A and B are shown apart, each in its own frame.
Chain A
């Protein structure tokens, strides 16, 4: 009989096709769940997974959230603390995306979220974005800003100094050297704020001719 054979044939063709469409989605969710479940307790895993799913819907990078949870587990932090840290990072990534725009890379969003976590305001990150120009990545400037804050340079000073360097056209190599010099100065006993401001003036003197701007006066 032709009918049942045709029906069976159609089913044999349609079923694997439907499965091949449906399985990747389910299997991906399962893969993420497996990564988390191998390190987190069930309650924490479910809470973290919910935050990750929400971030994915909001088109935010989810890898930093998973990494944050894994970091907490590696450092033997308790579940509520891990969930709180992941949630906070999710909020900071969302704010970073709003400030830096949809074209920002994952690295920039991560660096921005880390800077926000250190106390840098959205306004200062927007200022840096504007000072750096549209084509320049702000990952390293943000990492330097965060580092300065971590070395007890006041947030306002750290933001002002790095925004100024970006505006003066300092390259990533200039910023790396600046960061290293400030670190060495502080390790030798210098006041963090004074070290950052002094070293920034030095960088600006070198970069001003390159950027076609006047270096700051004798401060």
Chain B
């Protein structure tokens, strides 16, 4: 159908006429709209009042009455948390410094032997005891004839160690693999402790 034909039939005019007629709202339409608007405004006011009340609660100084036993309870809870945290950290630090043992689980008894006829004291120091030559578990005992030995638990893993003779002389284990490690002027020995095969 062409545009001229539509014009002639007055179709367009009829449509335009219907569109020109104003929409007549039903009775009470205005009242419903206003009630809805007032409802929204009241909800917003309520929300605002809640926010102000909450802010006043946290920002204004107030007196809080606390029962004496609840202070003790809170203090005990804090102490417990601190202890747990300290214990956790201590355990973590121990785990970290004995990483080879933790990684593969466990340790093995290892015998360390040094022939030192003129020694008065022999100890073993290594990364398994924090290089502590005074560690009580690693003090060698004179077995006679210049033979010193100690059997101690060593964590599973690769370790570097040395004998300490008379608290001053660092001596590599002559029967163990050597470590080319002259960072601190002395040669260390190496030991690889394997997990126990059950």
Contacts and interface: CB of A to CB of B under 8 A. Distances in A.
B113 interface: no
* Interface residues of chain B: helix, strand, loop or mixed (majority): mixed
Given A66-B97, A172-B194, A23 B180 contact: no
Contacts of A32: 93, 96
A85 B184 contact: yes
A24 B99 contact: no
A122 to B, nearest CB: 17
Nearest to B88: A24
Contacts, number: 165
B45 interface: no
Interface in B116-155: 125, 127, 130-133
A27 B194 contact: no
Contacts of B170: 75
Contact of B192 (A7, A16, A143): A143
Given A62-B96, A74-B131, A106-B157, A146 B82 contact: no
Contacts of A202: none
Contacts of B185: 75, 77
Contact of A27 (B64, B74, B86, B96): B86
Interface residues of A, number: 58
Contacts of B190: 111, 114, 143, 146-147
Interface of B: 57-58, 62, 64, 66, 70, 74, 77-78, 80-82, 84-86, 88-90, 92-93, 96-100, 103-104, 125, 127, 130-133, 156-158, 160, 170, 177-181, 183-187, 190, 192, 194
12 contacts: A4-B62, A28-B93, A62-B99, A63-B96, A63-B127, A70-B131, A71-B160, A81-B183, A105-B157, A111-B192, A118-B179, A118-B180
Given A67-B160, A71-B127, A147-B179, 12 more contacts: A3-B57, A19-B82, A20-B85, A63-B99, A67-B131, A70-B132, A75-B170, A114-B158, A143-B177, A144-B177, A150-B179, A151-B178
